Structure 1
Amino acid sequence: MELTLLGTGAPAGLPRPDCPCAACAAAVGTGARAATAVLVDGVLLLDLTPGPALAAARAGHSLHGVRHLLLSHPHDGPAVEFPAELPAPVRVPDGQELALISGHRVRAVSLDAPGTGYAVTGPHGDRLLYLPPGAGPAGPSPYGGPPASGGDAPYDLPYDLVLLDVTGRPDALARLRADGAVAAPTDVVAVHVGHEVPPGGELRRRLAAAGARAEADGTTLHVGEYREVPPLPRRTLVLGGARSGKSAEAERRLAAFPGVEYVATGGTRDGDAEWADRVALHRARRPASWRTTETCDLLPLLAERDAPPLLVDCLALWLTDAMDTVGAWDDARWRDGGARALAARVAELAEAVRATRRTVVAVSNETGSGVVPATPAGRRFRDELGRLNAAVAGECEQVLLVVAGTVQRLRG
């Protein structure tokens, strides 16, 4: 199948009309996007973009051959034109299947938000899945269960190409991966792109971390065509200061993958209401499908094979526990073997990160750029955290630094 992306933006487009935000201000040239609409083999049109005939002409196509116009969602953007030569737009009821005279088959897939997804099989058996903005597969969680669409899976899985709202619903991509609808060979293309993510490099970076990409309006894709995709980094260290956004960045990197194990190294602090509020905030932000493990014993977790991705938050708290264990806060104990014991534990952790077969994203605090701590214990912790970060970073394919919510790639 040949697909032409007549538009790739959110229903309101990008930039949004009269929106003063920085993302909209930067959405110029190829960064500007009309509402998403997809022309399939010149005969099937999925959704409408403003000025569809002109959009098709700019891409070197015509809408004269379109025999079916299927809408996937209630349109809340700018008014769209219904060219006279197009058939009347329809929404296919969930579960209904259409056999088109062109040889295409279309099945309506139920969703967890208003709208309808479409699974399209081409005349030669190639398969694509198209989901509307803000939507994911409906039904019970597919982790270890039946297909997310309910009942039988739409045609053969996995799909060759999936078009969905990756930036708005990374959890929908995670569900599709858990369901087997998206596998390593699947080409994942982000559509319905809005102003929630700055266009350009930041958008490409976030999509690449999810195993996806975006294309400009007017791009033509060939379903099933081989496309080399850069491998996702298996080990990533995310550094940042307090409230820099480092934890949110780490969570974003795994939001599109199923069954993540979240390792909280902070433990519990009886009677500390402020700490409890911090923990609750973190828990509320995580996908419901993630499993939480509260421990500082990271070596067994890193040694597990055939295990889901691991998110460790954070190494600074792991270091606090390790320093407690070796008596690092007491000067005499520190001089009498404590420093050697801590160095050995850091070396063990770095070796475990080097040997792990799991996908790992670890979070740590970046310290030492400001005021020198006033106490020997504070200076000791600062120094040892710097050494720990350097040791773990040395074993990671990718190292990121988050400053004021902005991610800088240091390696990878």
Structure 2
Amino acid sequence: MELTLLGTGAPDGLPRPHCPCAACATARGPLARAATALLVDGAVLLDLTPGAALAAARAGHSLTGVRQVLLTHPHDGPPVELPAGLPTAGRVADGRVLTLISGHRVRAVPMDSPGTGYEVTAPGGERLLYLPPGGAPAGLPTGNGNGGAAGGGSGTGRSGARSARDAALAPYDMLLADVIGRPDALARLRAAGSVGPTTDVIAVHIGHEVPPGDELDRRLAAAGARAVPDGTTLTVGEYHAVPDLPRRTLVTGGARSGKSFEAERRLAAFPGVLYVATGGARDGDQEWRARVSAHRDRRPGSWRTAETCDLTPLLTGEGPPLLVDCLSLWLTDAMDRVDAWDDEAWAAGGEEALRGRTGELVAAVRATRRTVVLVTNEVGSGVVPATASGRRFRDELGRLNAAVAAECEHVLLVVAGQALTLRG
């Protein structure tokens, strides 16, 4: 099955007309994107956008062979002119299956928001799923979760005929979705087994929420997805290297730099994440309670939370991805346990005991087989602490950060909400 992306942008395109934002200002030339529309094997057009015939011609294709034009989402503004010779554009009722004379089968997939998704099966059995902007499939089965692992690497595409039962259970060969706007849709599909390690995930409906270029590529790669320019032709089911997902990531930065948000965003497209809060409960501290509540409210509803500083069993055990926030609070607890704040206790064995605890944690990070994102703080770039215990904490956190970073494939420094890649 051959797929040509006539456009890959949001309904308003990129840059958005008359928008003064930085993302739109830099979306020029090859970074500009027309509204998303897909041409499947020259026979099916998914979404009718302005200039579709010209976009097809630029990509080396014609719309003369199109037998079906399907819309996925409500279109605001003036009606789009239908190019001469094309059948009238329409929408398929949820759950209905169309069998075209070309041999393609198109099934309408219900969404959790206004719009319709389409599952297209080629005569040879290759399958793709195309979702509208801002939409996620409704009523997904729970599945066995095999497609939900946050694994990386590459695999072979699937082709050839399948039985109806096998096709229903197998992951799609390709997914085209609003990965930036609805990462939870990708997480749901992974949880249901509809997206697996070999599924080629293509981001479409790309707007100005993320600066185009390297930053867009970085965020998509973290979700196991990629973007392609307008006019690209892809072969569904053909081998393509899936973006490698690092097993261990360390996110560091100063206070209110956006490091926790960056860490959460890296796992937003994966189901069943265990959020490990090392801060614990602080009875009577309203400000701390408000911080914890804000963090909890912005996490996906499918995530679970564990409040613990006992990280080694979690790291060495099997399970879904872990997000540990944060190592600085873990170190505070570790220093409390060995009375490292007291100079005499520190000299009388506290230092050695702390080294043992941090060494155990670093070894667990090295040995883990789970996908892990760890958050920490940078405290060595400001004012030198006035007390010996404060300087001790600063020094120990610096040592811990360096040791954990050495065991991580990916290390990010977040400054003013911008993530800088230090490794990976």
TM-score scaled by structure 2? 0.93
Q: Are the aligned partners of 2:73 and 2:115 in contact in 1 as well (CA < 8 Å)?
A: yes
Shift of 1:140: 6.1
Deviation at 1:78, TM superposition (A): 7.3
Of the three residues 335, 338, 342, the one matched with 2:354 is: 342
Partner residue of 1:234 out of 247, 254, 260: 247
Q: What is the one-letter code of the residue matched to 1:68?
A: Q
* 2:231 aligned residue: 218
**Which residue does the alignment assign to 1:58?**
58
Counterpart residue identity of residue 95, structure 2: G
User: Distance between the aligned counterparts of 2:50 and 2:281, measured in 1?
Assistant: 54
Aligned length: 406
Q: Does 1:204 align with 2:229?
A: no
Cα deviation for residue 155 of structure 1 reads 3.6
Gaps of 5+ in 1: none
CA-based RMSD of the aligned residues comes to 1.5
1:98 aligns with 2:110: no
Structure 2 partner of 1:176: 189
* SS of residue matched to 2:63: coil
By how many angstroms is 1:360 displaced?
0.5
- CA shift at 1:29, angstroms? 1.1
Report the residue type matching 1:380 in the other structure.
R
Distance 1:7 1:253 in 2: 26
How far apart, CA to CA, are the structure 1 residues paired with 2:417 and 2:141?
Answer: 31
Structure 1 residue 378: Cα displacement: 1.1
Matched, 1:276 2:283: no
Aligned residue in 2 for 1:48:
48
Q: Which position in structure 2 is the counterpart of 1:365?
A: 377
Q: Residues 12-411 of structure 1 correspond to what in structure 2 (within 5 A)?
A: 12-76=12-76, 80-139=80-139, 142=142, 155-305=168-318, 307-411=319-423
C-alpha separation in 2, matches of 1:231 and 1:140: 26
Would you say the 8 A contact 1:12–1:77 is kept in 2?
no
Q: C-alpha displacement at 1:157, in angstroms?
A: 2.2
Asked if 2 retains the 8 angstrom alpha-carbon contact of 1:51 and 1:80, the reply is no
Listed one character per residue, the Cα deviations across residues 270-325 of structure 1 (whole Å, up to 9, x for unaligned) are 111111100000000110000100000000001112x1001000000000000000
Q: Is the 8 A contact 2:140 2:189 kept in 1?
A: no
Structure 1 runs of 4+ aligned residues shifted over 6 Å read none
Question: Aligned partners of 1:409 and 1:365: how far apart in 2?
Answer: 16
Amino acid across the alignment from 1:18: H
Give the Cα–Cα distance (whole angstroms) in 2 for the partners of residues 363 and 260 of structure 1: 15
Q: CA deviation at 1:167?
A: 0.4
Question: How far apart in 2 are the matches of 1:301 and 1:356?
Answer: 9
Deviations 1:111-155 (A, max 9, x none): 11110000000011110000000000102673659x9xxxx9984
For the residue of structure 2 that corresponds to 1:214, the secondary structure is coil
Cα pair 1:12 1:76 within 8 Å, conserved: no
CA gap of 1:373–1:283, structure 2 versus 1, over 3 A, is: same
Q: Deviation string for 1:148-201 (max 9, x for gaps)?
A: xxxx99845211011000000111001001111100111000000000011000
Q: In structure 2, the residue corresponding to 1:213 is in which secondary structure? A: coil
Aligned partner letter, 1:328: A
Distance across 1 between alignment mates of 2:414 and 2:303: 23
Which residues of 2 match residues 2-17 of structure 1 at below 5 A?
2-17=2-17
Partners of 1:77 and 1:355 lie apart in 2 by 56
Among the aligned pairs, what percent are the same residue? 74
1:231 CA drift (Å): 2.0
Structure 2 CA distance, aligned partners of 1:107 and 1:64? Answer: 23
Structure 2: gaps of 5 or more residues: 148-164
For 2:301 and 2:78, how far apart are their aligned partners in 1?
Answer: 34
8 Å contact from structure 1 (residues 117, 129) kept in 2? yes
Partners of 2:278 and 2:329 within 8 A in 1: yes
Q: Distance between the aligned counterparts of 1:283 and 1:322, measured in 2?
A: 24
Q: CA deviation at 1:229?
A: 2.4
